[in-house]
Structure 1
Amino acid sequence: MSSTRSDVSVLIPFSKRNKDQEEALRQCPSVQMSDLIFSDIEEKETLLDYVQRVKKLVTEENINIILPTCDLSTMVHAAIARDFPHIPGPTVESCYLAFHKAYSRQYLDPAADLVPYAVVDLDSPTMLQDAERALEKVGFPAFVKPAAAQSTFGVAKVKNYQDMNRALQNLRTMRDEHPGFKSSPSAPFFKDYFKQYLDVEKYPLALRDVVIVEPYMDAEALYTVDGCVVDNEIVRWAITDEHRFDHGDAKFGQDLIAPTSNVRRLTEAALGCL
């Protein structure tokens, strides 16, 4: 942007008020924010419930920028962008394909040399037989993880069929006992949102609780690269290392250790400063 904007009202979904973050955002040189609103989901809200509440905030507070800072907030951003044409943002479909691990794998370049994977439906009457076939395809040891979850919830390393059965049963128990827990497989949490904003005939797994099974890859160090797309160009803004903790032989993420200092670049990109 070549000129300073002073009419920007920003809403950050799935976020509690953070003074340091607010100060960093207000330092964007080419955007003068008239308002900055933090909004977090309530304990028993579904994703659609939350989107409906955010839509009221957009109208009442004259919001014109949504700043997503996590996977789930991109879903909110996409829904708001669809319902409010003056707010720029991604499509729900693009966010969904990046979020749902089974469809992400399905839509990757088929010419690429990819490791094998399989999908198991937690609600299928043949779940255990499907799991055995998945392990025959992928081999041991394997990684099992919910296709729609976050914060590495439910990730398990399985060395045999008994480990696999235990991991699947644990996921079903967590989902059934805590249907509103957004880090579980969470079909109930997402279902109404997907029915309203996604073509569920094209993406039927959206209404199912499924896990993805992949080969376990041992590594001394794990890295996550985050970024965004601005004017069709990828902006890489954070490289997080040691995103892991030890749990027996399985190592998976719990804490973020980001050596980069480029968080400001993300916020400037999202606000239109670049």
Structure 2
Amino acid sequence: MSSVKKVLVLCARKLDRLVFADLDQLPSEEREKYSFLYFYLEDGVDIDEYTEQCIEMVKQQDVDAVLSASDFASLVHAAISQTFPHIRGPSVESVFLTCHKHYSRELIGSDVQQVRSIVLDLDQNLGDIMRKATEFYERSGGVCCLKPAMGEASTAVYKVTNTEELKAAVTSLKKDRRLKYISESFLKKWLDVKLYPYSLSHCAMMEEFIDASRTVVTTCYVQNDQVAHASVTDWVFHENPPREGAKSFAGGITPSPVTKDSGRAGKLWEATDIIVKKLIQKGFNDQFIDFEFFPLPNGDFTLLEFNGRIQHDIGPVHRQVFENGDLMQIFLKLVNGENIQKPIQRQGVVGFCGYVDTYCSGKGDDILDFGEVCKIPEVTARCSPDDFISVGEIMCGPLVASTALTGSSFEELRRKHYDICRRILKKPEFSSLEKGCQEMHGPSSSKSRQSQQSDL
């Protein structure tokens, strides 16, 4: 890493601060290599101003590499890369095509089996939107998902099971302009919007609902216009979330059991490579990308979506499960143009990134025991004590913490995750894990939280 003069780290979302925490906490001598720009789009920061500030920092600080972890930060990274030829990164067009799920499917994912969907232009009047949405809903058997076409991290995802829920979800997304972080001026400056008419519209995606127990995610990266495979992860859903109709992730298991079946794993990588090659033609380079697939009963897979960024949540366990598996170090080598050694699985080691969610609104300190969190090195809080956790009508509950665990089996790690959750949650009855605790531990999980902790 000695050739790096200065790395600009883009923290455009609050979650980015967690992703880059290890870099931010380096000893001062190493920390001097990095500049961090902490301004959050979800707090109303203008993406055009953020981009211009980044460009000025590159000029003033002799920056020669950029790191980005979230979807919209990757768009800014791409704009910087287009401005400065010495900054490695993808083109704005290629990142846009990973962010806008309509064009992801229509233009880039069209050669692989994928979830059926339609795009809804929310700038139209409600009656026209509902006619199109209702027709798709009825053809899909009465269960669908609705989400922003350019959303991020499962934000504002609705499961609809009747026309009343459908209208409520459409109305909510139509009103919620906060989700449209990418301004028209940014897109007009960096993208040929004539090629993508929906780029300037406030759009939603309506999808068929796949009632699967998990998604399977392939992670790879592109260097020198060549794709390199990194890993396959299973992201498993909770079986019994507390809210009716919810569908929330319990966490990620790496490596996926699918990797033991070379035929099925080969199908995943074949679909992955088909799409990545299309993105490379649009300028995707020097960046990570991951692909989410639903496994089907017949053994095949159907593509849900892909994201042009590092799969940050699995990072803390990925480096323990794989030799040369530190995703952040791989990313640093990517943006600095260095050779990368392929990650190799350590024999008999399984990793689990566990999610801790809530369906209870309130201050972070009322939901999470931050004193206990500080005692457990495998836990990362994803909120602060003074943050207000807001739970709306969306399908997924907000995440308040996560765990990074390794062991010899998923059952072992699931049990450890549940034990940790019982220690750190003040209101476990409002979390998706409570049912899992009861299944794993029996009636003892219904005791008071103080009694639960004394048992550990």
TM range, smaller chain: 0.7 to 0.9
Q: Distance in 2 between matches of 1:73 and 1:169?
A: 28
Cα distance in 2 for partners of 1:254, 1:239 equals: 13
Distance in 2 between residues matched to 1:248 and 1:107, nearest whole Å: 35
- Structure 2 partner of 1:236: 230
Quick check: 1:8–1:33 contact (8 Å CA) kept in 2? no
Once residues 195 and 266 of structure 1 are traced to their aligned partners in structure 2, the CA distance between those partners, rounded to angstroms, is 29
| Partners of 1:12 and 1:67 within 8 A in 2 | yes
Structure number with greater CO (CA < 8 Å, separation at least 6) is 1
Shift of 1:219: 1.8
Normalising to structure 2: TM-score of the pair?
0.51
CA separation of 1:140 and 1:8: change in aligned 2, threshold 3 A: farther
Deviation (angstroms), 1:53:
0.9
**More helix as a share of residues:** 2
CA distance in 2, matches of 1:222, 1:124: 33
Structure 2 portions without partners, runs of 5+: 253-312, 320-324, 341-456
Q: Following TM superposition, by how much is the alpha carbon of 1:92 offset from its aligned partner in structure 2, in angstroms?
A: 0.6
Pairing 1:133-212 to 2, within 5 Å after superposition? 133-175=135-177, 181=178, 184=179, 186=180, 189-212=182-205
Pairwise mapping of residues 240-255 of structure 1 onto structure 2 (< 5 A)?
241-242=235-236, 246=241, 247-253=243-249
User: Per-residue CA shift, 1:139-178, capped at 9, x if unaligned?
Assistant: 4211111100112111111112111111111112332xxx
1:12 aligns with one of 9, 15, 28? 9
Larger radius of gyration: 2
- What secondary structure does 1:201 align onto? helix
Q: Give the aligned partner of residue 216 of structure 1.
A: 209
Tell me if the contact between 2:219 and 2:232 (Cα under 8 Å) persists in the aligned partners.
yes
**C-alpha contact (below 8 Å) 2:4/2:65 kept by paired residues:** no
1:132 is matched with which residue: 131, 134, 138?
134
Distance 1:86 1:272, change over 3 A: closer
Match of 1:178 in 2: none
Paired AA for residue 146 in structure 1? P
| Distance change (3 Å), C-alpha of 1:236 and 1:167 | same
Counterpart residue number, 2:417: none
For residue 189 of structure 2, give the secondary structure of its aligned residue in structure 1.
helix
Tell me the distance in 1 between the aligned counterparts of 2:114 and 2:234. Answer: 23
- For residues 272 and 243 of structure 1, the distance between their equivalents in structure 2, rounded to whole angstroms, comes to 37
How far 1:235 moved relative to its partner? 4.0
- Could you tell me which of 28, 36, 41 is aligned with 2:34? 36
Following superposition, the deviation at residue 220 of structure 1 comes to 1.7
Compared CA separation, residues 91 and 254, structure 1 to 2 (3 A): farther
CA contact (8 A) 1:92 1:198 kept: yes
Instruction: Confirm or deny: 8 A CA contact 1:10 1:66 kept in the other structure.
Output: yes
Match of 1:271 in 2: 336
8 Å contact kept, 1:41–1:50: yes
Structure 1 residue 223, shift from structure 2 partner: 4.0
Give, in whole Å, the separation in 2 of the partners of 1:194 and 1:169: 25
Alignment match, 2:318: 260
Q: Report the alpha carbon displacement of residue 105 of structure 1 after superposing the two structures with TM.
A: 0.6
Give the conservation status (yes or no) of the 8 Å contact 2:87–2:335. no
In the alignment, the residues of structure 2 paired with residue 102 and residue 213 of structure 1 have an alpha-carbon distance, to the nearest angstrom, of 10
8 Å CA contact 1:116–1:137 kept in 2: the answer is no
* C-alpha distance in structure 2 between counterparts of 1:85 and 1:68, whole Å: 17
State the 1:243 CA deviation.
6.9
User: 1:67 aligns to what SS in structure 2?
Assistant: strand
Q: How many pairs are equivalent?
A: 257
Q: CA–CA distance in 2 between the matches of 1:253 and 1:93?
A: 30
Distance 1:196 1:165, change over 3 A: same
- In terms of mean alpha carbon deviation, does 150-159 or 242-251 score higher? 242-251
Cα deviation, 1:32-60, whole Å, max 9, x if unaligned, reads 99621111224332211210111111111
Q: Is the 8 A contact 1:142 1:215 kept in 2?
A: yes
Gap regions ≥5 residues in structure 1: 27-31, 176-180
- Please list the CA deviations of residues 16-42 of structure 1 after superposition, one character each: whole Å capped at 9, or x if unmatched: 49552346899xxxxx99621111224
CA drift of 1:252 comes to 3.7
Residue identity matched to 2:38: D
What displacement does 1:253 show?
Answer: 5.0
Please report the RMSD computed on the Cα atoms of aligned residues, expressed in angstroms. 2.9
CA shift, 1:104, in A, is 0.2
